[in-house]
């Protein structure tokens, strides 16, 4: 039997230009990888970019892409994916948050090994941990008090650090740019699962990331609610839509203590119904069953 061919890996980073030191540190950690990326793409999301290749001696071909406005994480990542398709020499795209850090030097090689070993693997999710090694509960893609060091096939992945197979993206489509941020990973994960692709959580792939709360963003509650409604309108069979939103609304009312936060949340919920959600392509019932068998039915 022939040995699996090592996939050609690209690294994509989207930045808004407000974390220059963190971006430098991230790119330096990429440069130290024992598997050099075929390409490195850096998207300036509404900001100018310095010449990273000249300053940091980065490996591979470095491409700087500047856009006039902040397109959000999914929109910025789509800019990089579009250019990668133009090149035509990349099999796997590793996307990293601009304030993350690859602690180990073998991360890209391990990513390539995962994809080489499983031809139906569409997405690999990294483990996110802070500088003290702590992984927040919300960063483990399983229901319940899951062990962050237990890997395996799952139903979702983390946007901060992950690898995507380009042939999977060609089949199911890129990021939902209109989401701007919040729930875009679930939208992509559900499309991948419905297309017959597997998603693996690989805790040995560590991205160090500062401990943060998504609620730090001023628009978090509104966008979170709007995108959740868009997500289920786009991806769930109609009988599951009220179940999913009912469970989620009950949890939200228990969790949000701020009146201002609740007002913003309800405003986003209404916006999610009033505004177009994009193309409706609901998952098949066999995909619902598959996600349920993996431990997370799409009503949670």
Q: What is the CATH number of the domain that holds 198?
A: 3.90.550.10
How does pLDDT run across 11-68, given as a tens digit for each residue? Answer: 999 999 899 999 999 999 999 999 999 999 999 999 999 988 788 888 889 999 999 9
How does pLDDT run across 96-140, given as a tens digit for each residue? Answer: 999 999 999 999 999 999 999 999 999 999 999 999 889 888 888
129 and 224 both lie in a single domain: no
39-45 vs 61-67, strand pairing mode: parallel
Name the domain count of the chain: 2
User: How far apart are alpha carbons 216 and 253 in whole angstroms?
Assistant: 19
SS3 210: coil
pLDDT of residue 223: 96
Residue 194 forms part of a structural domain: yes
133 and 205 both lie in a single domain: yes
177 and 225 both lie in a single domain: no
User: How far apart are alpha carbons 68 and 83 in whole angstroms?
Assistant: 16
Residue 297 forms part of a structural domain: no
192 and 225 both lie in a single domain: no
Residue 3 forms part of a structural domain: no
13 and 135 both lie in a single domain: yes
Enclosing domain of residue 223? 215-281
Query: What pTM did the predictor assign?
Result: 0.95
User: How far apart are alpha carbons 231 and 236 in whole angstroms?
Assistant: 8
137 and 255 both lie in a single domain: no
102 and 200 both lie in a single domain: yes
Mean pLDDT confidence for 209-221: 72
Instruction: State the sign of the Cα–Cα–Cα–Cα dihedral 146, 151, 153, 155.
Output: positive
Of the candidates 128, 239, 226, the one whose C-alpha atom is nearest the C-alpha of residue 181 is: 226
pLDDT of residue 214: 62
pLDDT of residue 218: 55
207 and 224 both lie in a single domain: no
CA atoms within 13 A on the CB side of 233: 17
Residue 300 forms part of a structural domain: no
User: How far apart are alpha carbons 97 and 41 in whole angstroms?
Assistant: 13
Which of 187, 212, 237 is the last residue in one of the domains?
212
130 and 230 both lie in a single domain: no
Mean pLDDT confidence for 192-214: 92
* Enclosing H/E stretch for 152: strand 152-153
Q: Which residue has the tokens 């540190």?
A: 25
At 221, list the tokens.
């509650």
User: How far apart are alpha carbons 91 and 116 in whole angstroms?
Assistant: 10
Residues 6+ apart with CB under 8 A from 151: 200, 201, 202, 203, 204
Residue 287, phi then psi, degrees to nearest 5: -70, -40
């Amino acid at each position: 039997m022939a040995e699996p061919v090592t996939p050609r890996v690209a690294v994509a980073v989207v930045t808004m230009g407000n974390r220059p030191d963190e971006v430098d540190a991230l790119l330096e950690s990429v440069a130290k990888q024992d598997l050099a990326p075929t390409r490195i793409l850096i998207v300036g999301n509404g900001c100018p970019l310095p010449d990273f290749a000249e300053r940091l001696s980065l490996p591979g071909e470095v491409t700087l892409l500047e856009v006039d406005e902040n397109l959000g994480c999914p929109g910025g990542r789509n800019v990089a994916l579009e250019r990668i398709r133009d090149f035509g020499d990349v099999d796997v795209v590793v996307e990293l948050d601009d304030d993350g850090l690859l602690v180990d030097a073998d991360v890209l090689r391990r990513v390539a090994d995962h994809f080489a070993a499983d031809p139906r693997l569409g997405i690999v999710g990294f483990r996110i941990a802070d500088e003290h090694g702590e992984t927040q509960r919300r960063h483990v893609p399983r229901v319940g008090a899951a062990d962050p060091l237990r890997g395996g096939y799952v139903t979702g992945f983390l946007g901060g650090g992950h690898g995507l197979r380009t042939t999977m993206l060609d089949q199911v489509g890129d990021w939902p740019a209109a989401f701007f941020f919040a729930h875009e990973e679930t939208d992509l994960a559900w499309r991948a699962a419905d297309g017959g692709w597997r998603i693996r959580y690989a805790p040995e792939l560590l991205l160090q990331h500062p401990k943060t709360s998504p609620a730090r963003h001023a628009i978090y509650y509104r966008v979170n609610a709007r995108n959740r409604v868009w997500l289920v309108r786009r991806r769930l069979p109609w009988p599951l839509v009220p179940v999913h939103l009912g469970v989620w609304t009950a949890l939200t009312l228990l969790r949000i203590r701020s009146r201002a936060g609740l007002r913003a949340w309800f405003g986003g919920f209404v916006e999610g119904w009033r505004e177009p959600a994009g193309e409706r392509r609901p998952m098949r019932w066999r995909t619902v069953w598959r996600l349920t068998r993996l431990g997370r039915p799409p009503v949670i």
